[in-house]
Structure 1
């Protein structure tokens, strides 16, 4: 303690004034921190809601295009076909609760998911006749918090129909986050011209965020806000703890000598440095163990195949069957190269990955896994059923990695059915559309417990005594590296895993 600082710290009045300044500074810092947290939460939730609403709005364009194509091709002759597609859309997308096909000829009969009133029908006709080919957005004439999308069909001067989708604005934004039901939070949605669709109350003036949906046809205005209340800025427990901590710290600081403070600081720094060293060492050991376990898990399949082929080759040598031995050796070499490829992938596991330049056919992947798992399914008494399209299903992914994903999922499904009292059944379904391929693997086993669902894709999560718990975690990483998604489908008996992979255009043919 210096001579200049000693009189100041030894004066009770000056100690009190300094303590008050520190408490005021602590309260100001708490205000800034809490306000920043509130603003950050609003911006983060607003961005997530904006992205979700924009994605949902883009889906409406695809629905209108599909319905328009059906209407132009066969609306007069196949009303049932149009109604079936419309019913499917309203069932899988509850926010779309009305589909109408209105003939531009007033004498024509409307086709829709429900009866349409004359006012709405005339509104659709008028909009379809005058617009320039773009989708028209209007508030629903009879339903609150709804808007309608109107498009002429065919989308040309020779249009015969006005196609309408009725969209529930509340459901367009629904299910995003519990954050939007909190007190003081406001959520408004308006048409591009400012007409409100969803406005439960005026947006708070304290903090407001306004964004336009990223949809060319539905540039709806999303406005969010939150009112900052003193109870949120200065929570009782946090404020009391902060002020008490500042006061106690200040009292302890002025009662200690500088030399002792420097000594304690040096000791604390040494302790933290030692702790950091131990934690860094533990992290390296854990990472090494995870990589080793993953490598052993990945190599089990090709090494098992090599062992089986070697045993078969030995029996052929004993019998003198040299003609078939060459085939067995070829398969052994193939599996050895497969293991070498896996080792190379683990060596490059942490390096930045690029999307493959060629496509693989998921049908070939499933066929290869089917051949590998047929003996296991037979031993477990499990029936394998496949629903595979006739045309190639090409995705931009590595064939070996996709085989590993399908192998893990199918093997888990077969082993799950072995514990069931009824006859085991595993169904593999592969579908595709213009943008993505969807693979579903379902079984009639006991399903996945609620406790396990929360950490299903976490490494080392397993229910088998001899399992490594890395199969689903590695499968998730491989699928995500290919730009796809893997998930457990909710509902139904047993367990159903869904793999969604984007289809790529402009690729070379399927990899061998």
Structure 2
């Protein structure tokens, strides 16, 4: 009984720690989205008092009580910080120094004016031309709240520390050396946030009373003497009921975490859309102001190119919104059986001129027999067009040496389409986020092409993936063959 109880207590701690780790990691990731949105607002605003920034910051602190303070500190000494409350001069100096020393990463510091708080510092804009240091002060204790009553039990120990070892929050003795303890089962792991790898440590002090509860021990002895196997069956049934109840509670908490993940993803989409639209809207504003000055001077010859640039930027903003709308709610199209080779031939005809202009060898290896699938032909053409256009963009600097090979073949009831190029490939640090909305390596890209392609392929019942260990970039698309093997 003692061994089984020890294993159960250790497993319970490991399971609760995993749930708490996920909860804290999800909340920490939300802070990145807040910093991105606030930075975009600060950069786009021409108001010295940053009133819009302060309104958004107040709303964030109201809905996220763990965020105690938000401030925008000018990097030039003597500048006035935009903050809801007065900042400590020592904290202001630390924020400015951390932003100046930043190479683009987010700095983590203990908050000298608030016990148990840590500070996130990001330069704004996040480039060598940064003008401000953007700060969020986070209450570490509230980062771990709402995790359940398990963490309030006696003997359950918990701590959260900065990567440098500074303890932000601690409850109980983490090393498991509490007086009378038989054993401790410690857990330690960094949060799954790239910008906030805080160290989460948990421990459980297991005493003889935990291993051998007096009442349960007496009942087991009495039942074993009186009934034998009957008592054993009763205990097994009781344990199953307890496990079912605990599983139901954990499932409810997991549903809340999934909802938090969806809210976080929505924040990332909104932040990314704000970032994408800031540049064309700023350009439209500048062109409009320049046009007004030219009109005042009656310079009609100079006004025409200004208006042309304004139209170009407006169309670019419209294109961004259109692609965002297509990603978030693609229109349902009629599905029918068709030959996938025909779709690839259409795409080849569309891109042949561009490939020839770049002197890129574009080759198609298609089977002699029809490859019938059931999907929307236009959507499959869009997927192939997106991937081939991305490959041509990657080979823009390799004139005369670029190669793109498209291979289609039936395999185990599926149509397998591979698109490979000999370009620079995808950096390892970006592969995990390749199909994330707004993730792009091109200055003029929107980051929605691959995300939309993934949704269209999955809607057709297939899969799309980046193959590893190959030269350049290689994408593999798997679509189920039409079981009838017939046309529409």
Given the two structures, how large is their TM-score scaled by the length of structure 1?
A: 0.45
Q: Quick check: which has more Rg, 1 or 2? A: 1
